[in-house]
Chains A and B, each alone.
Chain A
């Protein structure tokens, strides 16, 4: 599965804006601080670019639990952040969700081959439940999801994570290449153009370009 190009573009732009913002406020912090700032920008950018999903809300909620993230989140999200967020109702357990897990995921074990040990479906159920718990911890906001939502959100989340990694990798490669070029004076334009081509559709017409230059990008969740 591939994330859409528009998601990657929105993510890249949002992340760079966030990094700029952190650079202004933190300036010359420690390497560890700068790394956290970049990671924070990347995660917020991913959530903002995706829009409203259970995992994006869960991600913002868990990020905002850390005091030092609050001012950044406030600035980037504005009104959206101040609104009383529907945080994970971890204390609000759906009694039937456990049955849904067993039913929907035991369904999967039944699709296995006919040659099986008699007790394997019970074992499969336990192992499946254990691993479902692990998945719930990995996916933001997962704790309060039923099995179906969990699988659905996992798909979406993993796709966006993959795109996040790809874009950050491309950015790295581009910056590194230009650094080498500056250091050694060798010509390495390929990576830069690759990245610029990715955002190239922003420049569809000259008219459009002039219009866009005069507009500030809107940040919405």
Chain B
């Protein structure tokens, strides 16, 4: 399946690259908490970041469902959705 199976050697450069990409993934405010190349802190911030994104999606789903409940077929919002789908 994966070319990088447990039998093949993972180079240090590859790990290096992934770690720096992970660091750059985090928003600025979280990056400041880490300091340089601390594996456990990086993991902690990454986990915390993903959890907060999950909460955001949950919250937005709530608000979108409340908003759409007030929509009917003739409302301008329905028009917007129709125009977004038309392609």
Interface residues of A (CB under 8 A from B): 1, 12-13, 16-17, 19-20, 23, 31, 34-39, 42, 94, 96-97, 100, 104-109, 111-113, 124, 127-128, 131-132, 134-135, 138-139, 146, 148-149, 151-152, 154-155, 157-159, 161-162, 164-165, 168-169, 171-172, 174-176, 178-179, 181-182, 192, 195-196, 199, 202-203, 209, 212-213, 217
Q: Decide if A16 touches B81 in the complex (CB within 8 Å).
A: yes
* Complex CA distance for A217 and B87, rounded to whole angstroms: 9
* Complex CA distance for A20 and B36, rounded to whole angstroms: 47
* Complex CA distance for A124 and B44, rounded to whole angstroms: 12
Contact residues in B for A164 (Cβ distance below 8 Å): 53, 57
6 shortest A-B CB distances, which residue pairs?
A: A108-B39, A131-B43, A111-B37, A202-B87, A34-B65, A39-B61
Chain B contact residues: helix, strand, loop or mixed:
helix
* Residues 34-87 of B at the A interface (beta carbon under 8 Å): 36-40, 42-44, 46-47, 49-51, 53-54, 56-58, 60-71, 75-77, 80-81, 83-87
17 contacts between A and B (CB under 8 A): A16-B84, A23-B68, A31-B65, A36-B61, A38-B61, A42-B57, A108-B38, A112-B38, A134-B47, A135-B43, A138-B51, A146-B6, A155-B21, A155-B25, A164-B53, A165-B56, A168-B61
The answer to the question of B24 belonging to the interface, with a C-beta cut-off of 8 Å to chain A, is: yes
Contact residues in B for A1 (Cβ distance below 8 Å): 21, 24-25
- Complex interface bits, B4-27 against A, C-beta within 8 A gives 1, otherwise 0: 111000101011001101101100
Q: Decide if B46 touches A158 in the complex (CB within 8 Å).
A: yes
Given known A-B contacts A12-B84, A108-B19, A112-B37, A168 and B67 have beta carbons under 8 A apart: no
Count of CB-CB pairs between chains A and B under 8 Å: 167
Q: Decide if B25 touches A148 in the complex (CB within 8 Å).
A: no
Interface size on B, residues (CB 8 A): 54
The answer to the question of B29 belonging to the interface, with a C-beta cut-off of 8 Å to chain A, is: no
Give the residue name and chain of the B residue nearest to A199 (CB): B84
